[in-house]
Structure 1
Amino acid sequence: MKIKKQTGLRGTLTVPGDKSISHRAVMFGALAKGTTRITHFLEGADCLSTISCFRKMGIEIERNQDQILVHGKGLHGLQAPSGILDVGNSGTTTRLISGILAGQNFSSEIDGDASIRTRPMKRIMAPLASMGADIISRNNNGCAPLIITGKPLHAVHYDSPVASAQVKSCVLLAGMYADGITSVTEPFLSRNHTEIMLNYFGAKVSSTGTSAAIYPEPVLEARDIVVPGDISSAAYFIAAGLLTPDSEILLKNVGINPTRAGILKVCRSMGADITLLNKNPEGEPTADLLIRTSSLKGTVIQGADIPTLIDEIPMIAVMAAFAQGTTIIQDAQELKVKESDRIAVMVDNLKRMGADIEGTDDGMIIHGGRPLHGAAIDSHLDHRVAMSFAVAGTICEGEMEIQDAQCVDISYPEFYKDLYLCGN
């Protein structure tokens, strides 16, 4: 994909449905009684992997033009899968479904693409094992393929060494099949979509500080779910609107859950002109975001803010390279175990553009304000890297060429079309 400089990005855009919420809606709908209707579902490759896995376990799921219908069979209604559960590139599918499978009365195997086979799964294997689960890594390397033999599970309290919604959700989902109250405490609060949605479906989940607890054997009832726009997908148009001269973009119905919306806090600290309109605080809070061209300055991003914006750091790094002054990103070692090592990949590609950036063990130091130029960018098949540099290409001088650009299909199949439309 080749990207050229633009000015005057204008228009109104509805970004795709939230990936995290789309995954969970299918999973919890499958475990509920009745038909769950999902509107604005993300038709990305990752979420389609979740649908495929549950179909293989006997759940009927219809994909209509404007709705997904999940015909749930209750908490104990899954069947032994008809073959290996292929999660594709989806870490969310892998880790959350493992918690569900651990408490079933059948065995299953989870596998995915080459990237998934390198993602760390010991972080879920350890707490599940403490609950009595039988989960092993086929290659004995703590990665997929995973073989899970369902067993009766015991309630535990798990102190997670990482602030990870996937780890927390895995334990809470296994806790539905345990013999008592299961709880998780994190070092910082990670995104809480699981807690919100499980309660909506009828489970009993309580949250205090960075801890969450779930009561066993809930009776989940089917629900109608309208998935808000994904703030991780909105991030690219937030950045494009702020950095491209003479721009004004309105993003409709974006999820602004505080455990996910750290990018808005960072943008404001950088001097961004962002106005929240039509705010709806119910359930998963949403708002329309009005983005106008701004002069950005460097900032410091660390600590409890990191889990609220971990997926947006590639885009933030690009913003920092165009901003005036120095931006420091730290406490973000989780970037090393995403679809790529995002610290190394962002540092390498931004240097190709002429940026003054250095990687650290847990983040980056970016001295912004240098003139940047187009370059040949290696996406490493990482959708967030590809989209971040596509935005950079609309701002820098010269032409940007992004290799393996279609990896954006993981989360935003219409991304390049939407970026082009905003500029025309």
Structure 2
Amino acid sequence: MAHPLPQTLSIAPRGALTGTIAVPGDKSISHRALMFAALAVGTSRIAGLLEGEDVLATAAALRAMGATIERTGEGTWQVDGVGVGGLLQPTTALEMGNSGTSTRLLMGLVASHPITATFTGDASLSGRPMGRVIDPLAQMGADITASPGGKLPLMVRGLCPAVPISYTLPVASAQVKSAILLAGLNTPGITRVIEPVATRDHSERMLRGFGAELTIERTNEGRIIAIRGEAELKPQTITVPGDPSSAAFWLVAASIVPGSDIVVRNVGLNATRTGLIAALRLMGADITELDPRDVGGEPVADLRVRHTPLTAIDVPETLAPSMIDEYPVLFVAAAFAHGRTLARGAHELRVKESDRIAAMKAALEACGVAIEEFDDGLAITGTGGDPIPGGATVASLLDHRIAMSMTVAGLHAARPITIDDVAPVATSYPAFYTSLDALTGRA
């Protein structure tokens, strides 16, 4: 998948954000819905699927391994699965684009099937280490040949039957956990993952919904998730809730831009994903949950957000696993708070689509924000609600969350902020700038 030509964008204040929008379907759930449906026997239907480039890469890879996946309308898809153990040998390399989730989870799928798959990706993904997934899958018997540094391109030769393992996650990672559980689906016996720190639990919820025999035990070691292999998954009808990681940009934008008052509809509020909301509320943000409800087994609500002054905090490190993707935009919120915000405990940011700690430090510093860098986060001295100076050109580094976060920063800057490339935004939120136009009266 070739990266499109860079799209430079200059962002200046547009006034208050007002109105109501819906965010795209949750990316984590969208990936998993396609994968589990592809492993079920029969026809599954999915509504609200995120149609960004990352999820489409997952769909293309599953088609290459035998699943029939068709778009039947906007956000609605039909999947005819091949059954656990039924994946076919792909005839070409699986092109993952910029999607680390697609890569790591599909490596788990392939690891316990009698097939060989080569994974490739764009320049950003090819720089991301895959060792933390390679290690447990190799223990299960998969033969994995990676590029130097455990990076893409890499080849996975699955073993069938694979070997069940009991694996303690050395770093909190829902992707690694999910890759092991996916490999365990076609592995005889019981495969266990031990989580010392709980991570997002979409895989566990959905696997149970598809009929897998999965148990969760809370012990002094942490959460022990056990799955019985050689599973038979049953097709499902799924509604994907709105992505809290996408909603995060509007929560921060409305909080920092004076006069803003918005409602973001249908936001997933799984407790493993709400760290940013908790952090913003500690800073004094005015976020109200409207019409709380259950959608497809996930808690959902509409969120009303109104501008209010933010106060700096020491962000509790216990929130890190539930907001790891939201740290870049949290850094933006901190830039407008009163006082010095300390946000640490986020080592994982170093190995995302970019080094998000270094990337956000460079971008915000270029815009006049005072920042101190640590190995696991940043300390940011805010403006007390005044505009940041702005006036800089910043690098998105092929990272959609850096591009969107700095767009939010530009909405309350004294001088326009230019982002060198916003094309990567299409990987997760193709309608982001359309939504921005709608909330600022430019639609």
1:317 corresponds to 2:325? no
CA RMSD of aligned residues (A): 1.2
Q: Is the 8 A contact 1:125 1:136 kept in 2?
A: no
Q: Is the 8 A contact 2:400 2:425 kept in 1?
A: yes
Q: Deviations 1:379-400 (Å, cap 9, x if unpaired)?
A: 1111000001101111111212
Q: Distance in 2 between matches of 1:191 and 1:120?
A: 21
Query: How far did 1:73 drift?
Result: 1.5
Mapping of residues 4-403 of structure 1, within 5 Å: 4-66=12-74, 67-137=76-146, 139-151=147-159, 152-209=161-218, 210-281=223-294, 283-369=297-383, 371-374=387-390, 375-403=392-420
Q: Distance in 2 between matches of 1:244 and 1:288?
A: 20
Q: Deviations 1:184-215 (Å, cap 9, x if unpaired)?
A: 11231111110000100000222233331111
Report the more deviating stretch, 55-64 or 226-235: 55-64
Letter paired with 2:271 = P
Q: Distance in 2 between matches of 1:8 and 1:346?
A: 24
Q: Distance in 1 between matches of 2:237 and 2:365?
A: 47
Q: Deviations 1:313-371 (Å, cap 9, x if unpaired)?
A: 00000000100011111111110100000000100110111101111011111111265
* Structure 1 residue ranges (4+ consecutive) displaced by more than 3 angstroms after TM superposition: none
Q: Secondary structure at the match of 2:423?
A: helix
Q: Is the 8 A contact 1:376 1:403 kept in 2?
A: yes
Q: Is the 8 A contact 1:6 1:244 kept in 2?
A: no
Q: Distance in 2 between matches of 1:362 and 1:241?
A: 27
Q: Distance in 2 between matches of 1:204 and 1:304?
A: 30
1:416 corresponds to 2:433? yes
Q: Distance in 1 between matches of 2:389 and 2:398?
A: 22
Report the more deviating stretch, 356-365 or 176-185: 176-185
Q: Secondary structure at the match of 1:81?
A: coil
Q: Is the 8 A contact 1:14 1:229 kept in 2?
A: yes
Q: Distance in 1 between matches of 2:265 and 2:294?
A: 15
Q: Secondary structure at the match of 1:184?
A: strand
Q: Secondary structure at the match of 1:145?
A: strand
Q: Distance in 1 between matches of 2:379 and 2:281?
A: 19
Q: Secondary structure at the match of 1:285?
A: strand
Percentage of identical aligned residues: 47
Q: Scaled by the length of structure 1, what TM-score is found?
A: 0.98
Query: How far did 1:281 drift?
Result: 4.0
Query: How far did 1:302 drift?
Result: 3.9
Q: Is the 8 A contact 2:141 2:158 kept in 1?
A: no
Letter paired with 1:80 = Q
Q: Scaled by the length of structure 2, what TM-score is found?
A: 0.94
Q: Distance in 2 between matches of 1:217 and 1:297?
A: 52
Q: Is the 8 A contact 2:126 2:151 kept in 1?
A: yes
Q: Is the 8 A contact 2:85 2:186 kept in 1?
A: no
